[in-house]
Amino acid sequence: MKPYAFGAGVAAAAVLLGVVSYTATRPDDSAAGGRTVAEESTDPQADVYAELEKLARRDARDPLALGRADAPVVMIEYADFKCGYCGKFARDTEPALVKKYVDNGTLRIEWRNFPIFGEESEAAARAAWAAGQQGRFWQFHEAAYAEGAKEKGFGEQRLKELAAQAGVKDLDRFVRDADGEAARQAVAKDQQEGYGLGATSTPSFLVNGRPLAGAQPQRAFTDAIEAARKAATEKAAGSTPSGPKPSGPKPSGSKSSGPAGGK
């Protein structure tokens, strides 16, 4: 698989996703209420995180995303439908994050198909994408990650059953889409992105560009999201103009750059 093309410095930091935990999960960060933007600026990896944050697509039409496109925090998830830990996250942690953060506009979750367990993983990824073309990706996601679902395998007939369970209306189209070139290209694009980051296991996450690996306890995700929200809020406040400065009287004979009475 060809490495995914990133901005300068990101490829060199590919190992981050596999070996670095999100700094907000450390006990001292939690106790201090997170790190300020000034503190973040001293992080030697800050430039890398900024590059990784650009991987968020923020496409309002993306059927494999959940939440507002302009949410202050974007969590990208690289996952495989045959991954047991991905299923654990989907069942035990993700619903609470959706309720607490997605529903109020704080968090956006962007899914990336990252099949690493062979042909059935690839087939399930394409099927999930196909379900998304009919607006039922997240329902398919829930059905595929239900307790005991992966043990039944992801053969062609089983995937069709999951699509029906997810409420996909046109099953003939679903089958065509899942076997089509567009699905293969979409999955390959996500895979290249994950491999380019150095991801070697699932699930792997980026929270506003900061890596978080594995189906960690819910607290790890809430700490990461809260820290990212705080940093985004401080950054936005720092870049917001304080308003027009009052100007003194113009020197006699000076030319106005706008219409009379204008600012």
Residue 243 lies in a domain: no
- Token readout for 68 is 């507002």
Residue 4 lies in a domain: no
Residue 23 lies in a domain: yes
- Token readout for 95 is 């619903």
Q: Which residue would you say has higher pLDDT here, 247 or 48?
A: 48
Name the β-bridge partners of 86.
none
Report the DSSP pairing between strands 107-113 and 73-79.
parallel
Range of the domain at 181: 11-236
The confidence band for 28, taking pLDDT boundaries of 50, 70 and 90, is very low
pLDDT above 80 for 43: no
Residue 241 lies in a domain: no
CA 256 to mean position of chain CA atoms: 49
Residue 43 lies in a domain: yes
CA dihedral 66, 70, 72, 75 (to 10 degrees): 30
End-to-end CA distance of the chain: 56
pTM: 0.79
User: In this structure, what CATH number is given to the domain that contains residue 195?
Assistant: 3.40.30.10
Neighbours of 249 (CB within 10 A): 6
The confidence band for 46, taking pLDDT boundaries of 50, 70 and 90, is confident
* Mean pLDDT of the residues in the chain: 83
Residue 244 lies in a domain: no
The conformation of residue 150, written as its DSSP 8-state character, comes to G
The answer to whether 9 touches 47, Cβ cutoff 8 Å, is yes
pLDDT for residue 238: 84
- Token readout for 136 is 């039922």
Total domain count for the chain? Answer: 1
Give the lowest-confidence range in 37-41, 74-78, 200-204. 37-41
Residue 246 lies in a domain: no
- pLDDT tens digits, one per residue of 109-143: 999 999 999 999 999 999 999 999 999 999 999 99
The answer to whether 193 touches 4, Cβ cutoff 8 Å, is yes
The confidence band for 16, taking pLDDT boundaries of 50, 70 and 90, is low
Amino acid (one-letter) located at 109: I
Q: What percent of the chain has pLDDT over 70?
A: 74
pLDDT above 50 for 256: no
pLDDT for residue 171: 99
The conformation of residue 5, written as its DSSP 8-state character, comes to P
- Token readout for 190 is 């996500």
Residue 24 lies in a domain: yes
Neighbours of 171 (CB within 10 A): 13
pLDDT for residue 241: 57
